[in-house]
Structures are given as C-alpha cells and as structure tokens.
Amino acid sequence: MGIDEIGCCGAYCGTCPVIKENMCRGCKLGYLTGERDIHKAKCKMKVCCIQRGYQTCADCEAYESCAVLLEFFSKNGYKYRKYHQALDYIRSNGYARFLAVADGWKIQYGKYDD
C-alpha cells in the first residue's frame, strides 16, 4: 500500500477490505488519475487537498488554521480524533513512517508505536 491509500483527512484506507476487493475507490483514487471529476466531489476537504496537489491535509501550510479542517476535527466521535492524530503524526514523522505503522492496523486508524 502507499500514500494514495491515505485519505486527505488522515484515514488509512489501505486496511479496508472493501478497497482490497476493488469495490471502493477510496477518498483519492480515481481523482488523481482523472477517472473521477473532482468538481463533483462533495467533501470540501478532499476538493481542497486534491486541487492543491497535496497528498493529505498534513502537507498544507494552513494546517493549523484551516476552517475546513478545524470543523472536521471538532466533530464528535473517536475516529475524528484518530484522523487528527494521523495527520499530526504524518507532519511530525513523514509518510514512510506513518505507512510502516498503519500497515499493521485492522481498520482505518490505530495505535502508534512511539
């Protein structure tokens, strides 16, 4: 698996059985190749991230102040905190290290070794 399996929000789709069975294209797949039209996407985060050419929102210079991200991270639910943690981890440690950790997860988020 690779960076394309990391959602713009930090969710790791590489562990998803639906993607592994090619029944879902995930957050970014298809948009990056032009098979899907980014202008038809409903997720503001995805549209912004892909149009700016970022791998994830972790690459954005406005990461700390982005209204779209702040709204997403303020949602009630454990997974939103884990996605925030994933993007923070990527910003601090890079994609290669994140993927090394995430490939051992059973779902789209998990624990970190350090």
Long-range pairs of 95-100 with CB within 8 A, sequence gap ≥ 24: 95/3, 95/6, 95/55, 98/6, 99/1, 99/2, 99/3, 99/6, 99/14
Q: For residue 31, what pLDDT is reported?
A: 85
Q: For residue 68, what pLDDT is reported?
A: 94
What is the pTM assigned to this prediction? 0.89
Q: For residue 23, what pLDDT is reported?
A: 76
Weakly modelled stretches of the chain, pLDDT under 50: none
CB 108 within 8 A of CB 12: yes
Q: For residue 25, what pLDDT is reported?
A: 66
Q: For residue 1, what pLDDT is reported?
A: 62
**Domain spans in the chain, listed from the N-terminal domain onward:** 3-102
Q: For residue 65, what pLDDT is reported?
A: 96
